[in-house]
Amino acid sequence: MINDLWYKNAVVYCLSVESYMDANGDGRGDFEGLTRRLDYLQGLGITTLWLMPFQTSPRRDHGYDVSDYYNVDARFGTLGDFVEFTHGAEQRGMRVLIDLVVNHTSDQHPWFQSARADADSPYRDWYVWADEQPPDAVDGIVFPGVQKSTWSFDKKARRWYFHRFYDFQPDLNTAHPMVQAEILKIMGFWTQLGVAGFRMDAVPFVIGTKGPQVRKPVEQFDMLRDLREFLQWRQGDSIILAEANVLPKTDLDYFGDEGERMQMMFNFQVNQHLFYALAAADCRPLVKAMKQTKPRPSTAQWGTFLRNHDELDLGRLTDEQRESVFKAFGPEKNMQLYDRGIRRRLAPMLEGDRRRIELAYSLMFTLPGTPVLRYGDELGMGDDLGLPERVCARTPMQWSTEPQGGFTTSDKPVVPVISEGPYGYQHVNAAVQRRDPNSMLNWTERIVRMRKEVPEIGWGEYEVLPVRDPAILAVRYDWRNNSVLFVHNLSDTPREVALSTGLAGPEGRVLINLLTENHSNAAEDGKHHVLLEAYAYRWYRVGGLDYLLKRSDIETPARA
Ligand code: GLC
């Protein structure tokens, strides 16, 4: 197979236009500002941008409540500014993914306004209604503590409407053929304006059956194939990256047995167990999560991430595991959210300890899949726990030591810039870090560059190497006649590990370190005896650096 599937070896960067750069001085970011920062993103080595919702919206849920799918919210600019942005990104070799939020609309959307006002409205059936309050109205709440119910009474319609999320986000009746046609139209529209695909919001809910009689939603997986086919007919190399926090046993239902559904999904299973591994210095549950999520069609890919714009959801861990993550990374109630997660940013969770931050990132970059970074994490930005819910980790990007961190000329940014304490923009910002060769920013740039030169991670088969110490994770990838090997020490004490590369033949005797001069030669017993400092990570090429001379054009049989 020719390696044309760009998402297999991409580096994705997730940002919200609102928080990135304010060019018009109104205190919130906009497309013009973002376009001016494209050179920064290109310099960092980002290949793909994922933009959170920027369409017209009351923005009561950060834009995940859309009131016009075919427009840019006037606060961020115009469709013209959007096209300037996608054009600028394309000129710099970056692809753009945007959020596709079609499980629900805003209650201000004209479709909902029409649906509630008139029983004969063509949009009435675009939403999900009940005459009486359904008995399970308090089940399946997504934001416990904030959201009270999944059914609310609408005074105008004099009926109950279904909302999986907040009450201002009425669910679309996604089983309705007209709604389905509209979703395709939305995808077609933005594709025409230069996007390379979509991060699809809340996929299990979009395809789940909805209605007052539905006790347990049943996913209509065929819908995924329709979406994907339409998109690929329009633009062959477009993809959908699905947000589906589901159990591994349904992964293949989302990817499709033949890879005919979603090209990518976020790996929530690995994400949660990775945080447990970091908290407890115990990789065993992580390895199990990796094995459970290993089977996938060859064209499918995982999105690997640490933090995103939501809380770190720990709902899939056992109570004990969750407790140990809370204890390590979010001990105070105010750091936790929705009874299941932590709302902090990565750097403060790891106490700003560079060794631990690098370790976490090194893991993210070398676990099977395509890495997805969160804006500001490349600087080690912090959070503002004084802000409500998930807003605490959505503060403006910190560009410089200038007022408001160089984010805006306004003295009243809509979301305040972090300006106090060790994470204040005075200390943590791009301008200062650019000048410092050892900064987090320059470290990130180097690791991104190296990650792109190790396509084995995105494309290859992998094997977790047996080591006795649960604090050590050793993974080898094989692809096209080459192998790479990664070793991580998750504990706060030095460790020595005896490793066998698992490869037959002489080449496994030499490990070339890709990041330092600290290479390894096998001892007489054939094993590599690697000394690892606390929180250390090693990136090795097996055999030597002539790998590009040795790379084959086709898959070679398993090497072990
Ligand atoms: C997804 C988004 C989240 C949003 C919700 C409702 O979970 O990631 O931010 O609030 O969907 O659209």
Q: Kindly report the three-state secondary structure assignment for every residue of 509-542.
A: HEEEECCCCCCEECCCCCCEEEEECCCCEEEEEE
**Dist CA 31 CA 34 (whole Å):** 5
Other C-beta atoms within 10 Å of 77: how many?
Answer: 23
**Cβ–Cβ < 8 Å for 303, 369:** yes
**Digitized pLDDT (tens) for each residue of the chain, 560 residues in all:** 567 899 999 999 999 999 999 999 999 999 999 999 999 999 999 999 999 999 999 999 999 999 999 999 999 999 999 999 999 999 999 999 999 999 999 999 999 999 999 999 999 999 999 999 999 888 888 988 888 999 999 999 999 999 999 999 999 999 999 999 999 999 999 999 999 999 999 999 999 999 999 989 999 999 999 999 999 999 999 999 999 999 999 999 999 999 999 999 999 999 999 999 999 999 999 999 999 999 999 999 999 999 999 999 999 999 999 999 999 999 999 999 998 999 999 999 999 999 999 999 999 999 999 999 999 999 999 999 999 999 999 999 999 999 999 999 999 999 999 999 999 999 999 999 999 999 999 999 999 999 999 999 999 999 999 999 999 999 999 999 999 999 999 999 999 999 999 998 888 999 999 999 999 999 999 999 999 999 999 999 999 888 899 999 887 665 54
C-beta of 12 in contact with ligand 1 (< 6 A): no
| 3-state secondary structure at position 274 | helix
Ligand 1, residue 61: give the atom nearest the CA. 10
C-beta of 166 in contact with ligand 1 (< 6 A): no
C-beta of 96 in contact with ligand 1 (< 6 A): no
pLDDT for res 560? 46
**Cβ–Cβ < 8 Å for 28, 75:** yes
Distances (CA, A) of 80 to 51, 250, 257, 271: 17, 41, 40, 37
pLDDT for res 144? 87
**Dist CA 475 CA 363 (whole Å):** 10
Of 168, 266, 310, 394, the residue with max ligand 1 atoms within 8 A of its CB, to mutate for a pocket test, comes to 310
| Edge-to-edge strand ranges of the sheet holding 341-342 | 312-313, 341-342, 336-337
Ligand 1 center from residue 66 Cα (angstroms): 12
**Dist CA 215 CA 230 (whole Å):** 31
Catalytic residue positions, numbered: 201, 243
Of 65, 165, 174, the residue with max ligand 1 atoms within 8 A of its CB, to mutate for a pocket test, comes to 165
**Dist CA 323 CA 297 (whole Å):** 35
Torsion of CA 529, 531, 535, 541, to 10 degrees: -50
- Residue 95 host element (H or E): strand 95-100
CA neighbor of 6 nearest in space, from 97, 116, 99: 97
Ligand 1 center from residue 428 Cα (angstroms): 28
C-beta of 101 in contact with ligand 1 (< 6 A): yes
C-beta of 399 in contact with ligand 1 (< 6 A): no
User: From the centroid of its chain, how far is CA 381?
Assistant: 17
pLDDT for res 279? 98
Q: Whose CA is nearest to atom 7 of ligand 1?
A: 202
Burial track 23-48 (b if 16+ CB lie within 10 A, e otherwise): bbebbbbbbbbbbebbebbbebbbbb
Q: Whose CA is nearest to atom 12 of ligand 1?
A: 64
C-beta of 52 in contact with ligand 1 (< 6 A): no
Q: Which residue has the tokens 């497309």?
A: 31
**Contacts for 232 with CB less than 8 Å, ≥ 6 apart:** 238
**Cβ–Cβ < 8 Å for 156, 116:** yes
Ligand 1, residue 308: give the atom nearest the CA. 8
Ligand 1 center from residue 103 Cα (angstroms): 10
Single-letter code of the amino acid located at 94? M
**Dist CA 80 CA 182 (whole Å):** 23
Ligand 1, residue 310: give the atom nearest the CA. 9
**Which alpha helices (DSSP H) does 293-399 contain, by range?**
319-329, 346-349, 354-366
- Residue 183 host element (H or E): helix 177-192
Strand intervals (E) in 112-260: 129-130, 151-154, 159-162, 197-200, 239-242
**Dist CA 199 CA 241 (whole Å):** 5
pLDDT for res 559? 55
Ligand 1 center from residue 24 Cα (angstroms): 28
**Cα angle 185, 190, 193; round to 5:** 130
C-beta of 112 in contact with ligand 1 (< 6 A): no
Distances (CA, A) of 428 to 57, 402, 406, 422: 31, 12, 12, 8
**Dist CA 316 CA 331 (whole Å):** 19
C-beta of 384 in contact with ligand 1 (< 6 A): no
Ligand 1 center from residue 334 Cα (angstroms): 20
Phi–psi pair at 489, nearest 5 degrees: -110, 110
CA neighbor of 393 nearest in space, from 12, 106, 52: 52
**Cα angle 357, 362, 365; round to 5:** 125
Single-letter code of the amino acid located at 371? P
Ligand 1, residue 165: give the atom nearest the CA. 6
**Dist CA 348 CA 311 (whole Å):** 14
Helices H / strands E in the chain, number of each: 18, 24
Q: How far apart are the first and last CA of the chain?
A: 21
Q: Whose CA is nearest to atom 5 of ligand 1?
A: 64
Ligand 1, residue 64: give the atom nearest the CA. 12
C-beta of 397 in contact with ligand 1 (< 6 A): no
C-beta of 65 in contact with ligand 1 (< 6 A): no
Single-letter code of the amino acid located at 42? Q
Q: What is the DSSP letter of 556?
A: -
Ligand 1, residue 309: give the atom nearest the CA. 9
C-beta of 64 in contact with ligand 1 (< 6 A): yes
